[in-house]
Amino acid sequence: MFCNNPGHAPSRFERERILRFPMPVPGDPGEVLEDNFGEFMIRSLLSLVLLLVALLPATIAPGQTNSDQNAPFDARREGEAAGDQPDDPGPLAKGLSPALQRKAIRVAIKKVADWQLKQAEGHYNIQWTFAALYDGLLAASKTTGDRRYHDRILEVARENQWTLGPRFAHADDEAIGLTYLAFYAEDTQSKDRLVPTREGMDKVLARADDPKENLWWWCDALYMAPKVLAQLAIATGDQKYLTFMDHEWWLTSAALYEPNEHLYFRDNRFLTMHETNGQKIFWSRGNGWVLAGLAMVLQRLPESSPDRAKYVAQYREMAERIAGLQPADGLWRASLLDPESYPNPEISGTAFFTYAMAWGIHHGLLDRKKYLPIVTKSWTGMLTHVYESGRLGSIQPIGGEPGKYKPSSSWVYGVGAFLLAGSELAEIAEN
């Protein structure tokens, strides 16, 4: 729980929150994060007004055309597509082994991926929520050898004609570009897999900086867009994408990275806000987005790049700080510095941390002896939130701040993070 700063001016976050956050569900415990009911009502009314005017595209289903993307879309539909938190999710899974062995890891990956593949039918789209899922499913396909995950996402890409989302220069609508570029890498003769993303990002590169507001004004954006730019540099051989990425990354870092804490504020609202225990507010998933984003950028940034050392330094700083905040059960909470106010484990942040650290171990950026126990403990903990059906629970719903939710809460981006984590752990595990 946290308290706001009196006199805080509404930011772009409030103006856009309905595009990313569902309305609070009446009677859903924990949805009201502030103790101030009046402030909550004002925010809810603001969300309602924005909901009435917001336009967001739905996915292009077979038979639709690009013009259908201008159809009205409401945030509640986005939430319904991306996840849920039922009262009765069924029993937890039994028999999943926490052993850090490839066979055991693949069993867990397949159980969760199979459930999500079926659960998402009728909801597949190109929003940021699903883009993160696709990152995980493509990794899971390679790790397990199951082509179904790969092929279903390829269908989605074709149905949507390889297009980015409609909001110009909005990182959330660019995240799907990495999926398209992954398929382009498989078949570089199919230029339709490349051209829409390249043309869309070229327009972003031509945009002048706004001195009043950074392009990537919220930390989640550091997962959504930079990896696309880095992959575009590989796909095209044009370094202008890395130059632009580097420029924007460090503008955002200067605005939101707390150099003493080695953590990111989610956005500028939190620069002057504190948890009820007096600590600064550092959102678990927000920092998970960034740490995973750093790993994805470093995968694609040439070893010879003069800019690489800056990313490595920030990656190592954050990894060390986050590892030091790991609770005894291995699972980070929604608020990194006030876990007591949010007792439920937060699996999406935990999974992104696990993925990023496992990648660092695999590629020699993190000390195996120090960090392997960290990721082993977090993987063991995450397995206790897998249900017999394959549902992965305890994932915080769509939001931009620490929150509360039911143990059954499952959302596609958290599943994507879990699959990324498992796939990377399989690379460093014993045969």
Helices first, then strands: H and E counts in the chain: 17, 6
The Cα 35–Cα 54 span in angstroms is 28
| SS3 at position 6 | coil
Nearest Cα residue to 341 out of 284, 384, 258, 256: 284
Alpha-carbon distance 43 to 394, whole Å? 25
Among 345, 357, 326, which Cα is nearest to 405's? 345
**Cα angle 365-367-369, degrees, rounded to a multiple of 5:** 155
Extract the runs of DSSP E, i.e. beta strands, from 61-118: 83-84
Smallest Cα–Cα separation from 228: which of 178, 267, 292?
Answer: 178
Catalytic-residue membership of 220: yes
What does the alpha-carbon distance between residue 162 and residue 160 come to, in Å, rounded to a whole number?
A: 5
Question: CA nearest 216: which of 182, 254, 178, 164?
Answer: 254
Which listed residue (220, 246, 267, 338) is catalytic? 220
Q: Assess contact for 334 and 349: CB atoms under 8 A.
A: yes
- Residue bearing tokens 């995968």: 299
Partners of 430 in the beta sheet?
101
CA angle 132, 128, 61 (to 5 degrees): 105
Give which of 298, 244, 420, 276 is closest to 347, Cα–Cα. Answer: 420
Determine how β-strand 83-84 pairs with β-strand 410-411.
antiparallel
Q: What is the DSSP string of 60-75?
A: --TT--GGGGGS---H
Q: Could you give phi then psi for residue 387, rounded to 5 degrees?
A: -90, 165
Chain-centre distance of CA 281, in angstroms? 18
SS3 content of the chain, % helix, strand, coil (to 5): 55, 5, 40
The packing angle between helices 75-82 and 12-20, to 10°, is 50
Query: Which of these, 316, 392, 323, lies nearest to 360 by C-alpha position?
Result: 316
Residues 128 and 218: their CA atoms lie apart, in Å, by: 14
Catalytic amino acids? 220
